[in-house]
Amino acid sequence: MTDNIFRPHYSITDSIPWALEAIERQSWLIENMLLMPKHEAWLRREVKVGRASATTRIEGAEMDEAAVGKLLNRRSGSKLTDDERANINAIDAYEFIDFVSDQTDIPIDELAIRQLNRYFMSGFAEALTPGVYRRGENRIGSYAPPNQGDVPGLMQSFALWLREDSGLHPVLKSGIAHIHMVAVHPFWDGNGRTARGLATLLLQRSGFGFKKLLSLEAGLFGVRSEYFAAIERTLGAEFSPEYDAASWLEFYTLAVKADADRLTAGLTDWRRMMDDLYAGGQEVGLSPRQMDGRMYAVRAGEMTRSDYIDVTGTSPGTASRDLANLVARGLLVAEGKTRSRVYYPARPKSEAGTNQGGEQLSPIEGGAD
């Protein structure tokens, strides 16, 4: 144990201020973009699924977002695969992160970090001791983390730094927290997921929350080779309290900027699509409920009756009638029977012109995930 506070070592490279300025501009745009609360909730659902899928795939899991989305209503069961369990855990962890982000009276400290790891590793082998600091050596590839006996003191000094109000830019603080969690590797397993979750929590608690719609995890999965290389370049072969985080921060700030750029473009497309679909729905006499259902189907690429009920808050009977009406109008295409039926978006004749085949619409590209 030590009373010494963690002091990171880094310099500010030329690209970091430029990236931070761009992130600040995009953050302002997102925070001032008008979104209906119910639509924002849909987008956050997508982000939650995207974060879970990405953070587990970084670690070698194989389930994509479509597969993970189907786990939202299957949160327990004895027949879960390891991939399914890891993704359900990640969904739970990001729900915890979103909750704690708004609770400023809850400190981001050792307890919060340990709880994060507990969420990510719940249900796996007890020998992995979720939420408990490792008691043994844990070599990761060619990297040797600090001795087990040093972990409690390192984490205590790290927690003191996390709670310190030093005026450090929140994006830099988030990035330093990520790399230091990986450097210390305090748990037997789930350290990478915990580090990414902690980085997201710090961003959302700061003025750079992006309405909880930024998926840092999905961005890192997209450049995972460069992500791993940046970590290895920064930490070297073994832990040193003097490691220089400059090259990591350069990578991290550029990665956050790229994520923010994608989010802004995606939400701009979302608003355009929303306006077009509402206008088209009014022209053909759809109810607001049906317009919401169709919008959800276009955004997600497909929809079940259960999805329609969740989105519109209507009864099963009304949902069935609404969906049958949307199919009859040529706005949705149904496949399957009864409870297993899936609905796909299709252009109405008034929108498709001479196309009589019900051309299918694809989900918006460049979205929040």
Whether residues 153 and 210 fall in one domain: yes
Of 216, 231, 264, which residue is a domain's last?
264
Q: How many domains, the chain?
A: 2
Q: Is the pLDDT of residue 365 over 80?
A: no
Tell me what pLDDT residue 363 has.
29
Whether 253 is in a domain gets the answer: yes
Over residues 245-252, mean pLDDT? 98
- 5's CB contacts (< 8 A; 6+ apart) are 157, 160, 161, 164
Whether residues 63 and 192 fall in one domain: yes
Whether residues 108 and 224 fall in one domain: yes
Whether residues 179 and 133 fall in one domain: yes
pLDDT confidence band for 366 (50 / 70 / 90) = very low
Transcribe 83-105 into DSSP letters. Answer: HHHHHHHHHHHHHHHHHHHH-TT
Over residues 45-58, mean pLDDT? 95
Whether 154 is in a domain gets the answer: yes
Lowest-confidence pick of 77-81, 236-240, 328-332, 346-350: 346-350
Distance CA 50, CA 78 (A): 24
Whether residues 161 and 195 fall in one domain: yes
Whether residues 48 and 110 fall in one domain: yes
Distance CA 206, CA 200 (A): 10
Tell me what pLDDT residue 361 has.
32
Residue 62 phi/psi, 5° resolution? -120, -10
Whether residues 211 and 322 fall in one domain: no
Whether residues 181 and 301 fall in one domain: no
pLDDT digits (tens, 9 = 90+) for 22-43: 999 999 999 988 788 888 888 8
- Tell me how crowded residue 368 is: count the other CB atoms within 10 A of its CB: 27
**Full-model pTM:** 0.86
Whether 10 is in a domain gets the answer: no
- 86's CB contacts (< 8 A; 6+ apart) are 56, 59, 61, 120
Whether residues 194 and 64 fall in one domain: yes
High-pLDDT (> 90) share of the chain, %: 64
Whether 357 is in a domain gets the answer: no
Structural domain boundaries, residue 295 = 284-352
Q: Which letter, b or e, does each residue of 174-205 get, where b requires 16 or more Cβ atoms within 10 Å of its Cβ?
A: bbbbbbbbbbbbbbbbbbbbbbbbbbbbbbbb
pLDDT digits (tens, 9 = 90+) for 165-223: 889 999 999 999 999 999 999 999 999 999 999 999 999 999 899 999 999 999 999 99
Whether 273 is in a domain gets the answer: no
- Dihedral in degrees, nearest 10, Cα atoms 147, 153, 154, 157: -170
Whether 292 is in a domain gets the answer: yes
pLDDT digits (tens, 9 = 90+) for 89-141: 999 999 999 999 999 999 999 999 999 999 999 999 888 899 999 999 988 88
The long-range contacts involving 35-40, CB below 8 angstroms and separated by at least 24 positions, are 35/211, 35/267, 35/270, 35/271, 38/292, 38/311, 39/270, 39/274, 39/295, 40/211, 40/213
Exposed, middle or buried by CB within 10 Å (0-12, 13-18, 19+), for 21? exposed
227 in Cβ contact with 58 (< 8 Å): yes
Whether residues 211 and 336 fall in one domain: no
Over residues 276-292, mean pLDDT? 86
Whether residues 331 and 254 fall in one domain: no
Say how far residue 217 (Cα) sits from the centre of its chain: 6
Whether residues 322 and 174 fall in one domain: no
256 in Cβ contact with 199 (< 8 Å): no
Whether 214 is in a domain gets the answer: yes
CATH number, domain of 309, equals 1.10.10.10
Beta bridge partners, 59, equal none
Q: Where are the alpha helices (DSSP H) in 150-223?
A: 151-163, 170-184, 191-205, 216-222
Whether 4 is in a domain gets the answer: no
